[in-house]
Structure 1
Amino acid sequence: MTQVLLIAGHVPQPALLKASLEKFRAAGATVRLAGLFESADIDSDGLTLAGIRSLPEGAEAAHGEAFVRRISKGAAPRRVWRHVERDRWVRGHARKAQVLVALDAGAVYTVWRLSQRNRRADAVFGIAPALKAVADRQARPGHYALRDAFHTLPSAVIAARRTKRLARLGANGLYHRATSPTVMRNAVGAKVWRSAVSAPRLPDGVRARLAKRVSHSMAKGGRRAGSVIVLHSAAERMADRALQAELLVDAARRDIGRGHDDLKGRARAVKAALALADERYKKGDPKRAAELLSSALTLAFHRAIHFDGLSSPLMTDTAGYLAPFRDSTAFAALSAPRGRELPAATPPADRPMRLLVTTYSNANFLQPIMDRYAGHPGVEIRFLDLKEDDEIRPLARGGQRMMEHLLGGQRRFGTQVEHALRPHLDWADTVFVDWATNASAIFSLVDPGTTRMVVRLHSYEAFTFWPHLVDFTRVDDVVFVGDHLRDLTVDLLPPLSEPAAPELHVIANAMFLERFQLEKASPDARFTLGLVGVSAVAKDPRWALDVLRILRGHDERYRMVVVGDGLDRKASRAARDYDDLLQRDLDELTATGAVDLIGRTDDVPGALTKVGVILSSSVRESFHCGLVEGAASGALPVVRDWPFFADKANGARTLFPADWIVTTPEEAAERILALTGSEENWRTATASAAKHSLSTWDWSVVGLEFDRLLLSDEV
């Protein structure tokens, strides 16, 4: 006989109950009933029940009236489970049952919980699935004997049917409790819900909501890979392209969030979002098109992909990586040239040239420029930090509103930007915008009139979406800090290669190098390696530690000083993973006194008096001021041929003298051993490097290049 336990959240309909019990009896099943009803509510005459249990009456008899009042608050799903989990009669028969049946939505959660304790039972919602489960068991007794012995999961189809009803009904917390992180931590629970998400015949809307909920709970429950798989599984079964794209984008983000990057999955998500963006743009829906473009761009330019790893797909195949965007009509509309009505004018001769220097938040590289022109008789200078301007700050935050405006929407936003920036543009003869990020993008939303626009791009921006929002037909000059960055940016931005492109300049960062020319603390400083700035994964300090290990294998006098803050572990999972490895290396080396972590200091010149070798271990750099400052201090420069640019026309090997460049830790150690073996060789090599640094990159030299850029009569 098949043992069946029925659970009810309210009084079953008498006629339906009687008819159902007749069918169970005909199928040879023994049936028991428990629920939130009073015994008097069930007319047991003529009912073929092996047992009946009133949950409130049982609770009162076992625990008292006060207990019943306490657990009888809330929705039916919660009340049913609170009674059942304390009812020995129900739990005892539930352990023996082969089919557990929820007669209504209020009982589904309880049946699911009971099925976790009795893995052999089929857990179903409704009479029809229950009768089918009984019939299947009797038709295939051998199969179910093996299943009961070895298979611990309820039927995937039955679980899916239950899930469909759960997703539709979601009765006041039932749905969320059944799909909670606690449930997902259990391997069985996670597998059941993965199967449910992929079940056939679920409506797309229901499947999408369920997939998101299950994915979220799996991630919270520690099943990060499973949280991605669930979203992909649901997307595969979607007919609705908008929902499919949404799930694919969510899956790619979760994948990156767990420190992994599925290139194909991410590319598929980007293409799906772009296809929908094109569709919405064509139908005159700039708001939705901008949302989709923003999703695609933030995913393609996610920091974990380009900043928190030792490689970037943007460098491997620039054209291929950007191809989906270049094929997109909506993206093309973003970068469509809008031009300017009038060319930039030559500043009047009867007054000083008015220079507006501006940025959004980051003015780290601007002080020497502002100091130079603050005292210049031919210049009147102002500084504007957009982040500190109460009117401009909310307009400059985020790119989605800018995108929507560029696609033909957000007209009020465009009016607000014009109103906020026009007074600054009307005052200035030249605007120098540092960083090609949101500051450059928002300024290019406005026709500058006759004001000359100059934008400086460092390195960070090239690996973000911001330069793609800048209208370079409204920019007169673009300044790069290195030839390698100019080449990369031209590859990224086709408008920079067109006839109407702005003038491109390469000017190094401003550095006062003479202040670093201090006497070394001792001749033994040549055995101390310096690493200045390790706050980004791209600095790859582990490469430098490999160099140190090789050197100490030859001579244990070699040690390293690390100047600057450590990695930002909150940036991404990829950054944390790298930092975990780095900390393990540092623990090993600091224990032997081989590494000294001095952290951030306001006296870098003083710290460098103890350093005899300065390293650049980075995979990419814009310029690496710390290296050049170290070389100017009299330390031996050793520069890794930055891998991001090693196979390009320009890179570290064209920026610095050839003898500074190495490709491997072994080559770096070889250069250091050869030139620090004697004090004489070390002093000769470092004097040459210091002379080159001062004559090439000191502000006394570079400042003249800025004069030619900003003060030349030729605009």
Structure 2
Amino acid sequence: MTNVLIVASVPPPQPAILTDALERFKAKGASVSVACFANVEDMSVDPALAEVRGFAVAPEAITGRLRDALRRAPQNRRMWLHARRDGWLRRRAAEADVLVALDARAVHTVWELAQRNTRASACHGLVPALKEFDARRTPTPGTVLERQVAATASIGARGARRLAVRAAKTTLKKATGQKVVANPAGAWLWTRAVSAPRIPDGLRSRLTLRVYGSAVRAGRPATAARASAAAIGRIKDPQTRADLLTKQAQTELGLGRVPAGLHDAITAQLDLADLRLRKRDPKKAAFALSNAFSLASNRVLHFDRLSSPLTDDPAGYLAPFRDSVAAKKLAEPRGRATPAAPIPTDRPMRLLLTTLINDNFLREIRERYEAMPNVEVRFLDLDDDPAGRVLARSGSSVFEHILSGRSAYGDKIEQWLRPHLDWADTVFIDWCQATAALFTLHDPGTARIIVRLHSFEAFNFWPHLVDFSRVDDVVFVSDHLRDLSTAVLPQLTGEAAPRLWVVDNAMDLQRYPRPKPAEARFNLGLVGVGSVAKDPRWAIEVLRRLRRHDERYQLLLIGSDLNARTSAAAKQYANQLQRDLDELEPSGAVQRRGQTDDVPGALTEVGVILSSSVRESFHCGLVEGAASGAVPIVRDWPFFAGKPHGARTLFPADWVVADPDEAAERILAATATEESWRETGRAASEHALKTWDWSITQHDFDRLLLDGPA
């Protein structure tokens, strides 16, 4: 009996053709096996005609060396890397007389199998396979020997080549390792090697990146800088130069550090974007521009450390973008054909509330206006639309659309959002991220566009993709956030800029005042500790100072633990925090209460509420704690300290402290007696309720939403 093995990368597009061929093979007395690298159910093959085996591989099953090999391998070889590991397929291939590749992606795998089974014929396609089956004759011994020698030589040569390449890579890895580069002689050698003449740019870039990475990991930043500068001076291709500088910066960011060459990397990508734009290649220009913004807004720089270069010097940090033609094109106003229409008087106003995933700050707003007879409310979360979800997360496509002026992506956005714009009188967009960029990608017609910007976005690239000439009003929750945003986005200033509002967050604070037991006087509370920006270690320093006076003081951490998975910088902070907790938790000085759905209930145990953050736009958790009757202690948020607006202008002066020592002094004074503690907490609660409760702030939202455009 003649054995036939058919290999397919995907189920055939026309199953009837495969079925017809299998019936013909069976009629000729062949035994057929089919291996498909997909789910076997998708093959639709009668088991009476062939034995079918599927090889769908779950992503979680791909680990270790196979994962690395698959990442490096060309597309046509990846299927073979899976196939060679399967015993069933190897046995069927060894027994086969005819090997058949059903599609182009299976050809390499069949060729590899044929190199190991020299008796078998190898074909691409069913028609050639049937012809080969009919014409097949037993080959002469000489022919068999010739094919075996050729196949063995081929396999041996490829194996030797892979072995040699692997050995060379291992040698190079060791020669450019941390120990070698950290040695002055090794540093001298490799600095000159990467700057040697007549080395191709690609090879020079890869070698430099290896030396650079070893140097920064070895704690030799000066060596890394010298090697980089020496190599960059030799690289002629702008793309290679930008890629090298970017990868070097990403290496340091991956280690949780601020790259010394960050400015150079950003500038190189912007120069590349300008070059591509001059050559009328908006796609590549958008890619380079996106790379520049991704570097500049990397979370290690602004979120997973206790400082940010953006708030330290906004103008200096963003100077490369101000000088870039491509970046300036993003900010060019495209305008609207007609201004927003007045509020209608003959029907309810149509209000569209929209966001992407996060609607945490919309609950009170939504409930209030849904209850009004003169307002018709719709809510749109872009993430709820499976098709639109992908569009909403494609920042690079937005870059390309703006640079080119027209794109298929832009047409899809128009088709998706135009019905909402046509329906709405007012669109309230919460978070100045993808939603704001997409709603201003096209002329909004007569709809009034309102965007609320929270602090997170000021450090992100999305606001730079928003056409503020199509926005009527921008809302901030604090003056210091407005100041930072206008420094970052010049489009928010000038005659053509939208109106700027400062409107407090919508918070129902009436549910927070509850009786507190006497022992709560000694409990410090911190609500929300999931990010580095909350800086819970500052709160721990306050606790240490208090416990030197009285060991009854405790710190309650309310909320999820700090997320250490976001970056190496976050992990470094988390490790330091864990050492603090290991010291203080066993005695009960620090207690982690975890996530809760009953924050008012949890706050009944808190006598002093802390804001230990390095930055906040408002800090709802602090205000909720104050409303509960806890004594508020607010760190003068370092990101905004010393500026015209910040924690000291947002809160009463006696709430804000400069450092842990001042915090401890205020707490000791306020909690000296139960009477003084309760009186101080009562005053704080009254101030919070009179200033920030929804019964007060809802009138600001009415003026914003119901008074109509200017």
TM-score (norm 1): 0.74
Whether 1:323 and 2:325 are equivalent positions in the alignment is no
How far apart in 2 are the matches of 1:688 and 1:457? 31
**Matches of residues 285-300 of structure 1 in structure 2 within 5 Å?**
285-300=281-296
Whether 1:376 and 2:372 are equivalent positions in the alignment is yes
The equivalent of 2:573 in structure 1 is 578
The equivalent of 1:252 in structure 2 is 249
The equivalent of 1:476 in structure 2 is 472
Deviation at 1:518, TM superposition (A): 0.9
Distance 1:469 1:75, change over 3 A: farther
Q: For 1:539-566, what per-residue CA distance to the aligned partner results, in whole angstroms no more than 9, with x for missing partners?
A: 1111110000000001111111000112
Q: For 1:578-620, what per-residue CA distance to the aligned partner results, in whole angstroms no more than 9, with x for missing partners?
A: 1111111111111221001011111111111111000001111
The equivalent of 2:420 in structure 1 is 424
Which 5+ residue runs of structure 2 have no aligned equivalent? 1-151
The equivalent of 1:528 in structure 2 is 523
Structure 2 counterpart SS, 1:609? helix
Structure 1 counterpart SS, 2:280? coil
Distance 1:707 1:671, change over 3 A: same
Deviation at 1:227, TM superposition (A): 8.3
Q: Are the counterparts in 2 of residues 185 and 221 from structure 1 also a CA contact under 8 Å? A: no
Structure 2 counterpart SS, 1:433? strand
Structure 1 counterpart SS, 2:265? helix
How far apart in 2 are the matches of 1:655 and 1:189? 51
Whether 1:206 and 2:203 are equivalent positions in the alignment is yes
AA aligned opposite 2:232: A
Q: Provide the aligned length of Structure 1 versus Structure 2.
A: 556
The equivalent of 2:620 in structure 1 is 625
**Matches of residues 134-213 of structure 1 in structure 2 within 5 Å?**
173=166, 175-179=168-172, 187-188=179-180, 196-212=193-209
AA aligned opposite 2:560: D
Whether 1:493 and 2:481 are equivalent positions in the alignment is no
The equivalent of 2:238 in structure 1 is 241
Q: For 1:369-419, what per-residue CA distance to the aligned partner results, in whole angstroms no more than 9, with x for missing partners?
A: 111111111111111111121332222213211111111165211211111
Which 5+ residue runs of structure 1 have no aligned equivalent? 1-70, 80-105, 111-170
How far apart in 2 are the matches of 1:398 and 1:230? 36
**Matches of residues 426-575 of structure 1 in structure 2 within 5 Å?**
426-520=422-516, 522-575=517-570
Q: Are the counterparts in 2 of residues 391 and 420 from structure 1 also a CA contact under 8 Å? A: no
Over aligned residues, Cα RMSD in angstroms? 2.7
AA aligned opposite 1:449: G
AA aligned opposite 1:435: W
Structure 2 counterpart SS, 1:407? helix
Q: For 1:634-668, what per-residue CA distance to the aligned partner results, in whole angstroms no more than 9, with x for missing partners?
A: 10000011111111111001100011010010000
Q: Are the counterparts in 2 of residues 228 and 251 from structure 1 also a CA contact under 8 Å? A: no
Q: Are the counterparts in 2 of residues 252 and 266 from structure 1 also a CA contact under 8 Å? A: yes
The equivalent of 1:94 in structure 2 is none
Pick the aligned partner of 2:703 from 684, 703, 708.
708
Deviation at 1:348, TM superposition (A): 2.1
Q: For 1:23-42, what per-residue CA distance to the aligned partner results, in whole angstroms no more than 9, with x for missing partners?
A: xxxxxxxxxxxxxxxxxxxx
How far apart in 2 are the matches of 1:572 and 1:385? 28
Structure 1 counterpart SS, 2:332? coil
Deviation at 1:473, TM superposition (A): 0.5
Deviation at 1:205, TM superposition (A): 2.6
Deviation at 1:230, TM superposition (A): 6.3
Pick the aligned partner of 2:300 from 300, 304, 311.
304
How far apart in 2 are the matches of 1:185 and 1:277? 34
Structure 2 counterpart SS, 1:550? helix
How far apart in 2 are the matches of 1:308 and 1:194? 32
Distance 1:75 1:534, change over 3 A: farther
The equivalent of 1:668 in structure 2 is 663
Deviates more, 1:504-513 or 1:183-192: 183-192
How far apart in 2 are the matches of 1:695 and 1:634? 13
Structure 2 counterpart SS, 1:350? coil
Q: Are the counterparts in 2 of residues 435 and 455 from structure 1 also a CA contact under 8 Å? A: yes
**Matches of residues 354-365 of structure 1 in structure 2 within 5 Å?**
354-365=350-361
AA aligned opposite 1:566: D
Distance 1:693 1:207, change over 3 A: same
Distance 1:553 1:213, change over 3 A: closer
Q: For 1:133-162, what per-residue CA distance to the aligned partner results, in whole angstroms no more than 9, with x for missing partners?
A: xxxxxxxxxxxxxxxxxxxxxxxxxxxxxx
Distance 1:234 1:388, change over 3 A: farther
How far apart in 2 are the matches of 1:185 and 1:312? 32
Deviation at 1:246, TM superposition (A): 1.0
AA aligned opposite 1:635: A
How far apart in 1 are the matches of 2:448 and 2:172? 59
The equivalent of 1:366 in structure 2 is 362
Q: Are the counterparts in 1 of residues 523 and 553 from structure 2 also a CA contact under 8 Å? A: yes
Q: For 1:183-226, what per-residue CA distance to the aligned partner results, in whole angstroms no more than 9, with x for missing partners?
A: 7658459958776544432121332244456778x599999979
AA aligned opposite 2:705: L
Structure 1 counterpart SS, 2:318? helix
Whether 1:283 and 2:279 are equivalent positions in the alignment is yes
AA aligned opposite 2:707: S
Structure 1 counterpart SS, 2:610? strand
Structure 2 counterpart SS, 1:513? coil
How far apart in 2 are the matches of 1:273 and 1:616? 38
TM-score (norm 2): 0.74
Distance 1:415 1:606, change over 3 A: same
Pick the aligned partner of 1:337 from 333, 337, 345.
333
The equivalent of 1:47 in structure 2 is none
Q: Are the counterparts in 2 of residues 228 and 254 from structure 1 also a CA contact under 8 Å? A: no
The equivalent of 2:409 in structure 1 is 413
How far apart in 1 are the matches of 2:708 and 2:262? 49
How far apart in 2 are the matches of 1:313 and 1:185? 31
Deviation at 1:281, TM superposition (A): 1.1
Distance 1:186 1:256, change over 3 A: closer
Deviation at 1:472, TM superposition (A): 0.5
Name which one, 1 or 2, has greater alpha-carbon Rg: 1
Distance 1:331 1:488, change over 3 A: same
The equivalent of 1:595 in structure 2 is 590
Q: Are the counterparts in 2 of residues 510 and 699 from structure 1 also a CA contact under 8 Å? A: yes
Deviation at 1:262, TM superposition (A): 2.8
Distance 1:248 1:697, change over 3 A: same
Q: For 1:328-367, what per-residue CA distance to the aligned partner results, in whole angstroms no more than 9, with x for missing partners?
A: 1111111100000000001321211111111111111111
How far apart in 1 are the matches of 2:530 and 2:220? 27
Structure 2 counterpart SS, 1:365? coil
AA aligned opposite 1:249: T
How far apart in 2 are the matches of 1:328 and 1:620? 29
Distance 1:635 1:241, change over 3 A: same
Q: For 1:233-291, what per-residue CA distance to the aligned partner results, in whole angstroms no more than 9, with x for missing partners?
A: 5334312222111100110111111111134x110111111112112212211111111
Structure 1 counterpart SS, 2:548? helix
How far apart in 1 are the matches of 2:592 and 2:259? 36
The equivalent of 1:636 in structure 2 is 631
AA aligned opposite 1:584: R
